[in-house]
A and B are shown apart, each in its own frame.
Chain A
């Protein structure tokens, strides 16, 4: 192939239906159901109806993605789709649509692990056409991956693209979940997490503190259910003393955010001690939409003399672009299916990991 392959990628593992079109590692279009105009809401928050209606959304999002990329389905070289992890019933919708498409138009099919998408999202070429070029890419490995979202909090050892080993994960709640649930205790509404990080900007450091979870555990796992309980008790205490939440809430958010960042840094540091050969840190997942969290993990990484690999904001949450990118790397390794019966056999794997 003289030209980079044209890939269409589907993701229905979460609330949103996402479809992207890529030319090699560059995204030509990336459409997410909650952002397309038929369902567009304030600031991307989608109440009730449009959430998780993949069956209704997918043909619309698919058309929109092709249109925005200014290509038609016949031009596409490969069809990529998330097969897990996620909610089984949601994954099935995307897989069926993508598999049918691949078979109907005789395109090779690339099954993709959604988490690998988050992990590699920082390798997407940015919209200005820049990004990490292949020559530099070799210098990034081995790497550590830190994935932090509403569903996941994981540390991954990345020997190379396609070669992964899970080092640690959350034993209970994910970080994004803890943020949203504590936001809920503070009566912020849904999603509370972004508000919590926003309010933290106005708070004073060290006024309200929490115990850093798993500080002394000897492994690389995380845990956030304990801090959730501690936060609940703290809100009850504070509400008994103060009439208005606004008196303490900003310092509370500051303390909570700092504790979470600290818990991530402790495990990252431990992992770097255990694997000194690591040359870079990759981050991904919706929690990195918080610029502060992104920056603080980044400073730590750079202080340790390592490269820091993260994506543009629009590819940090769930999106089709990252799925397409993984598809692209798999295409380069010739890991795709061409026979109809092999494509048909691809099944969802709701619990697939690294």
Chain B
């Protein structure tokens, strides 16, 4: 075990740290949040030591630290959302989760094939990683369930000898400011590219379908009223059907759904189903039959989750089903409707201005 004060011996610190990393050893290094435990992310010996050190971690993955977006790109898929985070907020105290390219193995990859990437705002550490040429592990240097380490002295006091022996080099930068651990952001859910693909398929389908109605709404109230008119004209209370709604965040999909629900006779307040995924509203037909309106939102659903959402069950029961963000899963929804011979209306809501919207309805 060796301690180098990097404030006095910066170059020596970098030089010796690289030697340790190349030999599969472990270092403790400073970041803008706390002291981290570093090892070569591609070296199984180093990874094994880290797991031994952290203990009691189960299969919790270990993040990696890079010195540039280019280095990150060698190991993970950087999508548009990740590019936004890297270009706007990094380096900084954020861990960005992206899909692994398959180079890395657990524990630096999760069982779902994702990697947490840190790009620390600490010049010494960036220089070290850059010169080493590969990412190093980015996990706080404390043992699992122990206090976050802000000083080397304190850390060494807290560590049992066995753990201490696993570390070859401490890079001491003195007491670090007590900043919070990094914020974790997952960029793998609701990828823009996936949404865009769904949208293209949805728009293709529109070209083949007949436009039955088009209107400009000047207010939320008009959007609701238009939903009501649509339901009156096209929905028969005893025929199951799907209304696929598409439009940007805040376009008015829920407002249009409110109109449909009011027209069918739903008494409750219809609010956004984004978090529940499906809201069920009971209503009574004119002839006294009790029915259910299902109001769905796919925004939070990941690939493959549509089948477990309850949509199929509602379709089997012959309910009227309204689906927001239907474009995201358009292929799947269309296939379901085709197989079950259920008619589908497509409603496209677009922004014209802050208040105004264009609403198009297709058969």
**Are A38 and B250 touching (Cβ within 8 A)?**
no
**Are A230 and B354 touching (Cβ within 8 A)?**
yes
A249 contacts across to B, CB distance below 8 A: 88
Q: How far is the CA of A171 from the CA of B268 in the complex (A)?
A: 10
Q: How far is the CA of A146 from the CA of B85 in the complex (A)?
A: 34
**Are A188 and B60 touching (Cβ within 8 A)?**
no
Q: How far is the CA of A226 from the CA of B189 in the complex (A)?
A: 25
Nearest CB of chain A from residue B184's CB, rounded to whole Å: 4
Is A86 located at the chain interface by the 8 A CB criterion? yes
Q: In the complex, which residue of chain A has the Cβ closest to the Cβ of B278?
A: A87
Is A215 located at the chain interface by the 8 A CB criterion? no
Is A330 located at the chain interface by the 8 A CB criterion? no
Interfacial residues of chain B within 171-230, with CB under 8 A of chain A in the complex: 181, 183-190, 220
Instruction: List the one stretch of B4-12, B36-44, B283-291, B302-310 in contact with chain A.
Output: B302-310
> Which of B95, B110, B271, B310 touches A171 (beta carbons < 8 Å)?
B271
Nearest CB of chain A from residue B79's CB, rounded to whole Å: 10
With contacts A40-B60, A189-B85, A249-B88 taken as known, whether A51 is within 8 angstroms of B302 at the C-beta atoms is yes
> Which of B95, B269, B278 touches A43 (beta carbons < 8 Å)?
B95
Is A187 located at the chain interface by the 8 A CB criterion? yes
B82 contacts across to A, CB distance below 8 A: 189
Q: How far is the CA of A221 from the CA of B269 in the complex (A)?
A: 11
With contacts A89-B309, A225-B254 taken as known, whether A174 is within 8 angstroms of B279 at the C-beta atoms is no
B186 contacts across to A, CB distance below 8 A: 45, 47, 189-191
Interfacial residues of chain A within 249-286, with CB under 8 A of chain B in the complex: 249
**Are B190 and A184 touching (Cβ within 8 A)?**
yes
Is A151 located at the chain interface by the 8 A CB criterion? yes
Is B84 located at the chain interface by the 8 A CB criterion? yes
Q: How far is the CA of A195 from the CA of B57 in the complex (A)?
A: 25
**Are A173 and B97 touching (Cβ within 8 A)?**
no
**Are B88 and A244 touching (Cβ within 8 A)?**
yes
Q: In the complex, which residue of chain B has the Cβ closest to the Cβ of A226?
A: B220
B305 contacts across to A, CB distance below 8 A: 51-52
Q: In the complex, which residue of chain A has the Cβ closest to the Cβ of B84?
A: A187
B341 contacts across to A, CB distance below 8 A: none
Q: In the complex, which residue of chain B has the Cβ closest to the Cβ of A15?
A: B300
Is B121 located at the chain interface by the 8 A CB criterion? no
A169 contacts across to B, CB distance below 8 A: 269, 271
Contact mask for chain A residues 185-224; partner B; CB cutoff 8 A; 1 contact, 0 none: 1011111101100100000000000000000000001000
Q: In the complex, which residue of chain A has the Cβ closest to the Cβ of B115?
A: A42
**Are A232 and B274 touching (Cβ within 8 A)?**
no
Nearest CB of chain A from residue B346's CB, rounded to whole Å: 22
**Are B85 and A38 touching (Cβ within 8 A)?**
no
**Are B354 and A37 touching (Cβ within 8 A)?**
no
- Chain B interface size band reads 35 or more
With contacts A172-B255, A189-B85 taken as known, whether A42 is within 8 angstroms of B354 at the C-beta atoms is no
> Which of B60, B63, B275 touches A177 (beta carbons < 8 Å)?
B275
Q: How far is the CA of A307 from the CA of B7 in the complex (A)?
A: 51
Contact mask for chain B residues 258-302; partner A; CB cutoff 8 A; 1 contact, 0 none: 000000000011011011111111100000000000000000001
> Which of A86, A184, A185, A225 touches B276 (beta carbons < 8 Å)?
A86
Contact mask for chain A residues 284-316; partner B; CB cutoff 8 A; 1 contact, 0 none: 000000000000000000000000000000000
Q: How far is the CA of A48 from the CA of B99 in the complex (A)?
A: 11
**Are B188 and A48 touching (Cβ within 8 A)?**
yes
**Are B276 and A85 touching (Cβ within 8 A)?**
yes
**Are B184 and A42 touching (Cβ within 8 A)?**
yes
> Which of B89, B110, B183, B252 touches A47 (beta carbons < 8 Å)?
B110
A49, A181, A188: which has the most chain B beta carbons within 10 Å? A188
Is B244 located at the chain interface by the 8 A CB criterion? no
**Are A45 and B184 touching (Cβ within 8 A)?**
yes
Q: In the complex, which residue of chain A has the Cβ closest to the Cβ of B79?
A: A189
Is B81 located at the chain interface by the 8 A CB criterion? yes
**Are B254 and A172 touching (Cβ within 8 A)?**
yes
**Are B278 and A229 touching (Cβ within 8 A)?**
no
Q: How far is the CA of A181 from the CA of B275 in the complex (A)?
A: 11
Q: How far is the CA of A88 from the CA of B295 in the complex (A)?
A: 12
Q: Number of residues in A with C-beta < 8 Å to the partner?
A: 57
With contacts A230-B354, A233-B354 taken as known, whether A43 is within 8 angstroms of B254 at the C-beta atoms is no
Q: In the complex, which residue of chain A has the Cβ closest to the Cβ of B282?
A: A351
B278 contacts across to A, CB distance below 8 A: 87-89, 350
A171 contacts across to B, CB distance below 8 A: 269, 271
Q: In the complex, which residue of chain B has the Cβ closest to the Cβ of A191?
A: B186
Nearest CB of chain B from residue A156's CB, rounded to whole Å: 15
A48 contacts across to B, CB distance below 8 A: 112, 188-189, 302-303
Q: How far is the CA of A128 from the CA of B219 in the complex (A)?
A: 53
A190 contacts across to B, CB distance below 8 A: 185-187, 189-190
Contact mask for chain B residues 235-254; partner A; CB cutoff 8 A; 1 contact, 0 none: 00000000000001111101
Q: How far is the CA of A88 from the CA of B88 in the complex (A)?
A: 40
Is A139 located at the chain interface by the 8 A CB criterion? no
Is A131 located at the chain interface by the 8 A CB criterion? no
Q: How far is the CA of A192 from the CA of B190 in the complex (A)?
A: 12
Is A2 located at the chain interface by the 8 A CB criterion? no
Nearest CB of chain A from residue B275's CB, rounded to whole Å: 4
Q: How far is the CA of A48 from the CA of B110 in the complex (A)?
A: 11
> Which of B280, B309, B354 touches A351 (beta carbons < 8 Å)?
B280
Is B116 located at the chain interface by the 8 A CB criterion? yes
**Are B183 and A195 touching (Cβ within 8 A)?**
yes
Is A150 located at the chain interface by the 8 A CB criterion? yes
**Are A174 and B112 touching (Cβ within 8 A)?**
no
**Are A49 and B249 touching (Cβ within 8 A)?**
no
Nearest CB of chain A from residue B355's CB, rounded to whole Å: 9
**Are A47 and B112 touching (Cβ within 8 A)?**
yes
Q: State the A residues within 8 Å of B (CB).
A: 14, 37-43, 45, 47-49, 51-52, 85-89, 149-151, 169-174, 176-177, 181, 184-185, 187-192, 194-195, 198, 221, 225-226, 228-233, 244-246, 249, 350-351
Q: State the B residues within 8 Å of A (CB).
A: 57-61, 63, 80-82, 84-85, 87-89, 94-97, 110-112, 114, 116, 181, 183-190, 220, 248-252, 254-255, 268-269, 271-272, 274-282, 302-303, 305, 308-310, 313, 354
A-B contact pairs, 14 of them (CB 8 A): A43-B181, A48-B302, A88-B280, A89-B308, A149-B275, A173-B271, A173-B272, A173-B274, A189-B187, A198-B183, A232-B248, A233-B354, A244-B87, A351-B282
Known: A43-B95, A177-B272; 10 extra A-B contacts, CB below 8 A, are A52-B305, A52-B308, A87-B278, A87-B309, A89-B278, A173-B272, A174-B271, A177-B275, A190-B186, A246-B89
